[in-house]
Amino acid sequence: MRILTDSNILIRLTQESHPSNAAARKSVDAIRGRGDTPCIVPQVIYEYWAVCTRPIENNGLGMTIEQTRSKAEELQQVFRLLRDERGIFDRWEELVTRHDVKGKNTHDARLAAAMLRHGITHVLTFDATDFKRFSEISVLVPEDF
């Protein structure tokens, strides 16, 4: 089974000194250990880039472009990257309308649309509430492992 790995998991994997680093690492290792494939989609990399390059004082990691690019390339080797497809927009539009999605939550709906377009039913995230509205998706949190 393929499992989408949310950007917050990748961010914690990057922050080796963060208290959640071990939980992120353990959960990804457990997914692989049971024969499942942790995946990402381009939006996960976009979100990861935004946090990595944002200044520390603005709740970012304060990394340089070069550091972020290098780490993003490394992550794309470790996690299976599923490319965007034309049908994602139509799926997104249907989800935001049906689930009355507003504001920043539209980004989560975009991830849900990409997941459904690629036939992925599970997401690994630290923010379980972000995906609860989508009955088509099962949420996994690192604590599950």
Check residue 104 and give its pLDDT. Answer: 86
CA dist 38 to 11, 33, 103, 122, 134, Å? 15, 11, 28, 10, 20
* Nearest in space to 61 (alpha carbons), one of 10, 108, 4: 10
Ordered by start, the domain boundaries in the chain are 2-144
Whether CATH 3.40.50.1010 fits 2-144: yes
Greatest Cα-to-Cα distance within the chain, rounded to the nearest angstrom: 40
Which two structure tokens, joined as six digits, stand for 45? 């990399």
Taking alpha carbons only, the member of 110, 77, 115 closest to residue 94 is 110
* Residues of the chain scoring pLDDT < 50: none
pTM value surpassing 0.95: no
Q: Give the model's pLDDT for residue 85.
A: 84
